[in-house]
């Protein structure tokens, strides 16, 4: 029914995100986060880890698309150790606070690169085994006309 449809094979395994920064010379750093619990496409629980096969494939993917700047790469590590990249996004990933908490200066080095300063890849190293939990929930849905209007200090909300 859909002409020239593209269907992605379902991949099983441990899902990961790599927070990446590629400087103007093409040198890349990647911080790996395992997506331990995913809800509605968002990592509710994630943990930093190191895996040479994952890192090598992430860096190869960045080179293949000639990525520059800040981006994230996602994929899966299957039970047999095979690594599959499923997407590459030219944006900061939602779970980047874990990268920062694990010691990588992702935002600071991105700002350096943005302003033409050298990216210090030594500042993009990180500790493994650091975790982050997120809580994302819809609290209320309704019409704005259902909201009670209040006035405080002369401001109506």
Domain positions in the chain: 14-139
Report, as an integer, the average pLDDT of 123-129. Answer: 97
Helical ranges in 50-150 per DSSP H:
52-64, 96-101, 106-114
* Between 12 and 9, the higher pLDDT residue: 12
Whole-structure pTM value? 0.82
Instruction: Spell out the long-range contacts of 60-67 with Cβ–Cβ below 8 A and sequence spacing 24 or more.
Output: 61/85, 61/88, 62/20, 62/22, 62/28, 62/30, 62/88, 63/26, 63/28, 66/26, 67/20, 67/22, 67/28
Q: pLDDT class for 154, splitting at 50, 70, 90? A: low
Q: Quick one: fold of 14-139?
A: D-amino Acid Aminotransferase; Chain A, domain 1 (3.30.470)
Is the pLDDT at 150 greater than 80? The verdict is no
Is the pLDDT at 153 greater than 80? The verdict is no
Query: Could you report the per-residue pLDDT of 14-26, keeping only the tens digit for each?
Result: 999 999 999 999 9
CA distance 77 to 51: 10
Query: Could you report the per-residue pLDDT of 56-109, keeping only the tens digit for each?
Result: 999 999 999 999 999 999 999 999 999 999 999 999 988 889 999 999 999 999
**pLDDT for residue 134:** 85
Q: CB count, 10 Å around CB of 36?
A: 15
């Amino acid at each position: 029914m859909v002409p020239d449809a593209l269907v992605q094979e379902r991949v099983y395994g441990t899902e990961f995100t790599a927070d990446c920064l590629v400087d103007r010379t093409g040198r890349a750093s990647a911080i790996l986060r395992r997506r331990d619990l995913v809800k509605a496409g968002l990592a509710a629980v994630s943990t930093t880890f190191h895996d040479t096969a994952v890192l090598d494939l992430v860096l190869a993917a960045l080179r293949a698309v000639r990525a520059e700047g800040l981006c994230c790469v996602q994929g899966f590590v299957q039970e047999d150790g095979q690594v599959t990249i499923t997407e590459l996004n030219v944006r900061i990933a939602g779970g980047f606070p874990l990268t920062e908490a694990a010691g990588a200066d992702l935002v600071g080095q991105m700002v350096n690169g943005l302003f033409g300063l050298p990216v210090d890849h030594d500042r993009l190293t990180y500790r493994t085994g650091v975790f982050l939990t997120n809580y994302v929930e819809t609290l209320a849905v309704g019409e704005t006309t259902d909201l009670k209007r209040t006035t405080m200090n002369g401001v109506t909300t």
